[in-house]
Structure formats: C-alpha cells, structure tokens
Chain A
C-alpha cells in the first residue's frame, strides 16, 4: 500500500478542475462551486470508512469468486466469429468516411 493514505475530505477548486480534465468533462463557472460542495459533502460522508481496520483484508473487485460454480474464469474459446456489419455500426456514428469513424484533427502539422 506504500505510504499511509487516508481519506482527506476537502477537495479544492483546483482538484475539481483537474479531475474534470481527467474525465474529459467541462464544468461551467456556475457548476464548479456546486460540484465542489457536493464532492466535499460526499467525501466527508465516505470518510466513515476510516473507522475500520482493513489491514490484511483482500480487496473484492467482483463476486464471481464467492459463487459455487460461478462464471469466474470460464471464458469462451478465442475464435474468429462474424460480428456486427460495418455499415450498420457506422450508421450510428456522427461522422464517418464509410470505412472509419472520423474525428477532428488530433495532431497539428
């Protein structure tokens, strides 16, 4: 776990903006303070978990391991099979050239 980390409620405006950037979200000047308050209220609340000593407890990411005969690790064979038709899939996209999805320019040159 490396250095001891604790839940430290009190997110700053800069942190909200950084997280929004990581999540590709845009927040308006009106939204940012509201999200800041909401996040701090929620983080204050979840800090209750600090009361529990969880040292030595293995994390549980999903429950299949708890089920008898569960689906965990039962994977189908990796075989090439027909998939969705390209034209049908591309018909849902905002912009294509009939072969690929098109997006705005990524690299300036």
Chain B
C-alpha cells in the first residue's frame, strides 16, 4: 500500500502555480496603509527563495534597489503624497532589458559580469510609476528560442508541470507570474517570445504594436521585429502596465508619437458588437485537437458576449515562418556583431591578433543556437544570396502585412490559437531546430506585420496544461485586443 502511494506520488505533476492579487487589490491595500510595500517585497523575496531553486526563474535579484524603492513608496503613502499607478507592485524584468548597475546577461555567457551603465526606458517608466523591481528573469540566449532551454544558465521549469518547458524566449517572465514570484513582469517578443510562453504558463501576455513601447535598453535581437511588453495574471492588469510603459521616446527613432490611451479603461468597454475574424489557416494540420477545442469554445464565448464571428482569408500564412527566420537571423547577424570582446563581456585570453581575439571570444561566449542563427543570417545576407533570400523574404513580408491590413478592413480583431500545442516536455525539441522554429507558427506573422495582440488563457488540456488564445488587432488598436481578451477571460 505504502509503495503504491509513493509510486503515484512520484508520477503526480509537481505544480508551483499560485495566483497573485490584482493590481487594484494591492493598490487599495497600499493606499489604506494596510499593506506596506516593504513587507510585500519581502514576502515576494521569500517566495522566490522557496521556488527559484526548482524553477530557475530569476537569474539575479536587485534587492537593494527594490527595497529602496519600496521604502520610498511607503514614505509617500505615510505622508499622503500621490502614488503612481504601480506603487509598491513587485515586478520582474527579463534579462534582456538593462537596469543600471544590475547584471544583464541576456541568458548568455558573453555578458557574464556586465553591468550596464543606464536604465532601459520601459524599466525607468515602471519605477517612475512606483513599481518595485525584484530582479532579472531567465530567458533563451539573446532571446533566441521557444523553450528557454537555450539559456546558458539552465532552463526554466514550467510552474504548471515542472517536467515541461515554460515556452520562450521570455520563459522566466511568464513562469514568474504563473508561480506568483512577481505580480507582473516585462518580456520581449520578436517572433512570439511573450505570447507563446504566456500561453504555455497560463498567464496574459501583450505584444504591443511595433513602436508603441521604446526599445531603448533592450539588448537587440532583430531590430525591425523586437517589442517590449508586459505579462500579468489578468487582462486588465496587463492593460494598466502597457499604459505605463508605452509612449514616444527620443532614444528610439522607431517609437510612435501616437498618444497613449488608458488601456485599462478601454478594456472595460466590453466586446459587444465587435467583429471577430477567424482565419482557417490557423486551424489546419498540425494544430493539437485539444487546443483546437479550447479555442473553439473561446470563440463561442465571444459570440455569446455579442461579437459577430466571420471567417477571414490569410492564404499566405504558411510562408511566415520561413520569412521570419530569414529576416530575424539576418538582423541578428548584424546586431550580434557588437559582441566582440572589446567593449564589454569577457575576452578570450591569449589571442595574437585582433581577428583571432574576435573569433575566440565569440566562440567561447555564444551557445549553439546563437551561432546557428548568426550563420544562417550571414549566409542570407552574403554576396550571391542576398536577393534570393533576404530580399525575397522582405517582399513576402509585405504580402503578409498587407493581408492583415485587408483583413482589418473587415474585422476589428482576429483570434487564433497562440501556439499549436500546449507546453512540451523539456528536451523534446532540443535536437531539432526546425521543429522548435515551428512552435512559433501562429505568432511570427503578427511580428512581421507590426500589429498588436494579447494572449489570454482559454481553457486547458485534459492533462491540465494551459491553452492560450491569441487576439490580434490592427496597428495601435491595443484597446480592441484588450476588450476581446477580457471577454474571453470572463467566459463561463
């Protein structure tokens, strides 16, 4: 009998899921003086100490800075001074965003020991709004990956099932929210790196419109695709966070001057009357039947909420992954040329010439996937292949973007599964780069088109693994995506 119990215990899923309080609940406590920011931060550090050894969510903690900020919030609250919208809220920051003086590894050995001399704009805006930044979260090396298994500091485990990946590349930021090791976090999304891990971990993730949030202080992967965005436990909180970090920044020439709406209030408007497009191409072969069933149930819920649902045609969808991997790797090969052992990062010892020093430093600093992508990108940009690969990919990128523009003339939002499957097992796809790339099949198109989206939890598989619905909207229409996501979240 005892033996049997042990067996079943060893087979049971190890689960670290815990729901954070909402921003509204926490804010009410801070304003009333019943919650102190310092105590809140301490309780989060305690939970991190318990869970991090198993989950590997945080790569470093920024305790001194967090506690100083918490003290400032508590002082202001005691004096009755006005408090920012995120006063005292404990948050985590993906380790590709820089914080002055704090480690910023980007999941790479190359940046071990690096201490950036400035703050990313999104980080500075969070702190100005009162957020308490707990530390830096684990990710795939230079944000290249779909499982966080490419981190030089070991993989993150999914809090829902520790034998499974949290998705990637922002796996640490997604898992932190799922395990309540932060109330909310920031991540980056180049081809799906916020949306896919949010889906795998059962949290909300936001892909802001390209240019909506400044990229200043984001360690660059593919500059024409990179976005900074929030993770939260619910849609309204994610909307509040986006309003804080969005806006024009003179340090990022691609940042949009468009005014920033109050997205939380926008999200309160309800989804009634919105026109929802469903592209058949996102429900074709390769979609797990259990994921399909969850998304179809979500679409029914939108109909019940008063949306009209209609098919939209996106016939070029299947070309998005090839286009994405050519453009992203081409840009990466240029962006990662800066890692040369001259200005930061460790330098390989004993190189006689400058060329040897570059080569040895990059060999020692980069992991296999980063090298693979630099090689692919360099190949696609090299003389004799540029037109056939890079230029061709840019032409198809326009076709894909225009397909969305046409669809958004007919519908307000498009809904799809966020990923073709629920979270896969650790090690399941590490031997096959192409299989790993296909995990991004539903997310890369929006990346290429520059449009915005939200992924929202939408049911679970029989094994209890979360499924996410991706809600996409036209450029700068985040408010619409939030309204639809709220309706999915509120379904029975």
A-side interface residues toward B, CB under 8 Å? 1-2, 5-8, 11, 15-16, 19-20, 22-27, 31, 35, 38-39, 41-42, 45-46, 48-49, 52, 54, 57-64, 66-72, 74-76, 84-85, 88-89, 91-95, 101, 103-106
Contacts and interface: CB of A to CB of B under 8 A. Distances in A.
A26 to B, nearest CB: 4
Contact of B357 (A72, A89, A103): A103
A59 B391 CA distance: 6
A65 to B, nearest CB: 10
Interface stretch (B13-21, B55-63, B378-386): B378-386
Contact of B210 (A20, A24, A64, A85): A64
Contact of B376 (A15, A39, A54): A39
A63 B210 contact: yes
Interface stretch (B136-144, B159-167, B272-280, B318-326): B318-326
Given A54-B395, A57-B395, A5 B385 contact: yes
Q: A-B pairs with the 3 shortest C-beta distances? A: A63-B450, A59-B394, A60-B398
Interface of B: 114-118, 209-211, 223-224, 248, 250, 252-258, 316, 318-319, 321-323, 325-326, 333, 337, 340-347, 351-360, 362-363, 366, 368, 371-372, 374-376, 378-379, 382, 384-385, 387-389, 391-399, 401, 405, 433-434, 437, 449-450, 475-476
Contact of A101 (B343, B346, B360, B375): B343
B224 A61 contact: yes
A48 B211 CA distance: 30
Nearest to B383: A22
15 contacts: A25-B362, A42-B325, A45-B322, A46-B325, A49-B323, A59-B394, A62-B210, A63-B449, A67-B476, A69-B256, A71-B252, A85-B117, A92-B117, A103-B342, A105-B352
A25 B224 contact: no
A5 B326 CA distance: 16
Interface of A is mostly: loop
Contact of A24 (B352, B355, B399, B434): B355
A93 B343 CA distance: 5
Contacts of B376: 39, 42
A30 to B, nearest CB: 11
B256 A46 contact: no
Contacts of A74: 253, 257
Nearest to A48: B322
Given A54-B392, A59-B394, 18 more contacts: A5-B384, A19-B375, A19-B379, A22-B378, A22-B382, A23-B337, A31-B368, A41-B434, A42-B433, A60-B401, A62-B224, A63-B449, A67-B256, A68-B475, A71-B256, A84-B117, A92-B114, A105-B353
Contacts of A27: 371
B91 to A, nearest CB: 25
A101 B342 contact: yes
Given A25-B371, A69-B258, A93-B343, A104 B352 contact: yes
Contacts of A68: 258, 475-476
Nearest to B373: A42
Contacts of A38: 372, 433-434
Given A25-B362, A39-B376, A46 B326 contact: yes
Contacts of A103: 342, 354, 357
A9 to B, nearest CB: 11
Nearest to B210: A63
B359 A59 contact: no
B475 to A, nearest CB: 5
B254 A71 contact: yes
Nearest to A5: B388
Given A23-B375, A68-B475, A46 B354 contact: no
Contacts of B366: 25
Contacts of B342: 93-94, 101, 103
Contacts of A6: 388
A78 to B, nearest CB: 12
A88 B210 CA distance: 32
A71 B253 contact: yes
Contact of B318 (A48, A60, A75): A48
Nearest to A74: B257
Contacts of B371: 25, 27, 31, 35
B98 to A, nearest CB: 11
B354 A104 contact: yes
Given A49-B322, A60-B398, A74-B257, A67 B375 contact: no
Contacts of B257: 69, 71, 74
B364 to A, nearest CB: 9
A75 B388 contact: no
Contacts of A69: 256-258
A85 B118 CA distance: 11
Contacts of A85: 117
B118 A84 contact: yes
Nearest to B326: A46
